[in-house]
Amino acid sequence: MTADVLPMQKLHIKNLDCAACAAKLERALKKSEGVEDAVVDFVNQLLFVEARDMDRVRDAVRAIDPQVELVPATRTATHDAREGAPGVNFKKEIALLSAAATLFLWLLVSGSGWVSPLSFRWQLLIVMAAYLMAGGNVLAGAYRTIRQGLFFDENVLMVIATAGALAIQAHAEAVGVMIFFKVGELLQEKAVYHSRRSIRSLLAAQPDQAFLKTLEGLRPVPPKSVQVGDTIVVKPGQKIPLDGQVLEGESQLDTSMLTGEPVPLATQPGDTVMAGQISTTGALTIEVTRPFQESSIARVMDLVEHAAVRKARTEKFITVFARYYTPLVVAAAAGIAFLPPLLTGASYQDWIYRALVLLVISCPCALVISIPLGYFAGIGLASRHGILVKGSNFIDALAAVRTVVFDKTGTLTRGVFAVKKIDSRNGFSREQLLELAGAAEYQSNHPIARSIQIAFEKQGGRIDAARLSAHTVHAGLGVSARYDGQSILVGNENFMQRHAIPHSRSDVDGTVLHIAVDGRYAGAIVIGDAIRPESLEAVHALRDQGVDHIAMLTGDNARTAAMIAADLGLDNYHAGLLPEEKVRALEKIEQKRPNGKIAYVGDGINDAPVIARSDVGLAMGAMGSDAAVETADVVIMTDSPMKMAEALSIARATRRIVWQNIFLAFTVKGIFIAFGAFGLATMWEAVFADVGTALLAVANAARILRG
């Protein structure tokens, strides 16, 4: 990391109970000296900030809003944020509202003549008492906003509207509107609180205990204290707390928290297990291979929380829109209040009242809250299905995908290889050919290399590592090595051609590895792979989602690629590609498919360049690969290509609900602004419309959680 690149730090925010305030805080922090970037995630109560001096950031936050407190990202704070602890004291607010409502009802009864009417003095005292009890924190919020040199947020609008109503002696409307506004805010806060908890419940809590195996027996310890290389024991029914390798025991693993798959996974000694999986049938002794902060479940949670940093264009637009929309409405209200009376001699009281209706209906809360909540719900739902989306901008990108390009090996095919045929030449025996290829591939962890080693071991062979040297991997071509003093090349036809080695061209179904020894062709080994059973289902599901072009890129030979493309009904394929050639192939597809975005799905290691180049890059089954997690926009926790179709479905549902909320808010507000301007709506109807729209939008966003 260079000195100019600042890490993105995460802090939890306390006492931030207003979405518009969150946008205001983010905007002000971005302008603060020493702050490179800042993102406020209101849904999760998080602040992501790039700054050289965090003390200056805290000072800036206190200057913006003294009530807001920044808390270090400790485990306790993280737990509170996941629980979605509300930012207001509900008991206190309900008590004040109850008292205000009681006084308000007395006012209405007094005015109706059911009891002795109050004198104007007593009436005014009751009005002000009820008004202050209902709107005390609204007044305080408006004061803080104005003190910062800002004049337009929902608190200021509500104070202007109700103060204006008091001035024109519309006492009942002033108190009633403030009461119902506060009731709406509390309901809204409660709805967001429950939605936040529902979203967080999609990702079960991280394991908080590990049983460390010591000389004295098993000792319960926090997972963070366990070191790589330590041995832990997981009993039946317990959650695996850290990534590791099974040393002893067999069990069925519930992987649904990480992958969304209900089918249990069998595990035995030698298998790799991940934190967050549940051992359901047996006890496991596990050697820890990753520290807790790098475990699968920790990385999942981190990816979901950091998704807020990458905001969708719609979110950014709504934030900017709200910033300019409110002043415009205030200006329009001022024009409605004073221009008609000045130009036509109409009653000031009538037109001022109409202007106040506009102010009440103009609060942008429905948009400012429901849009980010909708995107985060979509990201949470995707996570429950084992699909980690790194930002709401990628939700939008996925929703716009019309072309999907797959890698072949390990993506559309199983990636489980076996030797199908050995064709020896120039005096080499089949056994020699297998040993030479196994020696050259000895230090490689590629599935094809492993298949050759397994075939050699089945014949009773064993590679002596002391006889092996100068092992080099040539990406997309093959490997070279020295074994017993001999120079060995193992790779595809392009590899042979680069070294000017005459070889036979194979016309077979499978991956062909050619072997040369000291510049002399020794023969070929054919490796077979099988199409995943769900690959055809995934292609059909993508067609149903509106994807009209599905292609495949592979480094394998053209015959094998053509067979797989035909079996799956793909629209196109490109074979015999090196990693850098896959990028050029994707660009050619992009030129022919200008409409919609292109998604690329690969294993995330050799495909890293093309994953990075695509509009949306998806790494499949790649939580174990740092390269995959860093490069991809979306990380799929399983090896199933069906997850691509699920990702599109979730993204499009999320996008659809977000736009429903935008349409709802604009339509309702537009109608009531027009009604208010023409005197067809009162302040009562305006506040019901404003609060009701916000609650409907939040409820609609929470609908995403039902899948």
Rounded CA gap, 102 and 391, in Å?
A: 47
Rounded CA gap, 445 and 185, in Å?
A: 57
| Of residues 50, 15, 18, the one with CA closest to residue 34 | 50
| Of residues 599, 589, 654, the one with CA closest to residue 632 | 599
Helix/strand/coil (H/E/C) assignment for every residue in 610-656: HHHHCCEEEEECCCCCHHHHHHCCEEECCCCCHHHHHHHHHHHHHHH
What is the CB neighbour count within 10 angstroms for residue 196? 25
* Residue 512 confidence (pLDDT) above 90: no
Q: Are 499 and 410 in contact (CB under 8 A)?
A: no
| 407 given a catalytic annotation | yes
What is the CB neighbour count within 10 angstroms for residue 450? 14
The CATH label, of 3.40.50.1000, 3.40.718.10, 1.10.10.60, 2.30.30.360, for the domain at 387-414+531-637 is 3.40.50.1000
* Residue 398 confidence (pLDDT) above 80: yes
pLDDT of residue 215: 86
Q: What's this model's pTM, rounded to 2 decimal places?
A: 0.74
For the chain, the structural domain boundaries read 9-83, 90-200+307-376+653-706, 227-290, 387-414+531-637, 418-528
Could you identify the residue written with the tokens 């962890």?
445
Rounded CA gap, 561 and 559, in Å?
A: 5
Average pLDDT value for residue range 686-693: 82
Helix residue spans in 441-578 (DSSP H) = 447-458, 493-498, 533-544, 558-568
Rounded CA gap, 354 and 680, in Å?
A: 9
Q: Which CATH class is domain 227-290?
A: mainly beta
pLDDT tens-digit map of 6-51: 677 888 888 776 666 777 788 888 888 888 888 888 777 888 888 8
Q: How far is CA 207 from CA 68, 84, 274, 298, in A?
A: 30, 19, 12, 10
Average pLDDT value for residue range 90-104: 83
pLDDT tens-digit map of 113-128: 444 466 667 778 888 8
Query: Strand pairing partners for 514?
Result: 491, 524
- The active-site residue, picked from 407, 603, 607, 690, is 407
pLDDT tens-digit map of 622-678: 554 566 667 788 888 888 899 999 999 999 999 999 999 889 888 888 888 888 888
pLDDT tens-digit map of 303-354: 776 776 777 777 777 777 777 777 888 888 889 988 999 888 888 888 988 8
Q: Are 683 and 173 in contact (CB under 8 A)?
A: yes
Across the chain, how many H-helices and E-strands are there?
A: 23, 26
Rounded CA gap, 63 and 555, in Å?
A: 58
Query: Tell me, which fold does domain 9-83 have in CATH?
Result: Alpha-Beta Plaits (3.30.70)
pLDDT of residue 38: 86
Distance of CA 423 to the CA centre of its chain: 49
Copy the structure tokens of residue 304. 């979901």
* Residue 557 confidence (pLDDT) above 60: yes
pLDDT tens-digit map of 571-596: 999 988 877 788 899 999 988 887 88
pLDDT tens-digit map of 420-474: 888 888 888 888 888 888 888 887 777 778 888 888 888 777 887 778 888 888 8
* Residue 202 confidence (pLDDT) above 60: no
pLDDT tens-digit map of 468-511: 888 888 877 888 989 888 899 998 888 898 988 888 766 666 77
Cα within 13 Å of Cα(277), Cβ side: 31
Q: Which of 63-72, 281-290, 363-372, 679-688 has the highest mean pLDDT?
A: 281-290
* Residue 566 confidence (pLDDT) above 80: yes
Q: Are 360 and 683 in contact (CB under 8 A)?
A: yes
Architecture category of domain 418-528 in CATH: 3-Layer(aba) Sandwich (3.40)
pLDDT tens-digit map of 207-233: 778 999 988 888 999 898 999 999 999
Query: Binning pLDDT at 50, 70 and 90, where does residue 108 land?
Result: confident
Describe the crossing of helices 348-361 and 313-344 by its angle, rounded to 10 degrees.
180
pLDDT of residue 81: 43
pLDDT of residue 4: 56
- The per-residue b/e assignment along 377-405, b for 16 or more CB within 10 angstroms, e otherwise, is bbbbbbbbbbbbbbbbbbbbbbbbbbbbb
pLDDT of residue 79: 45
The whole-chain average pLDDT of the chain stands at: 82
pLDDT tens-digit map of 40-94: 887 778 888 888 888 888 888 887 777 788 887 654 444 444 444 445 566 788 8
Could you identify the residue written with the tokens 């609908």?
703
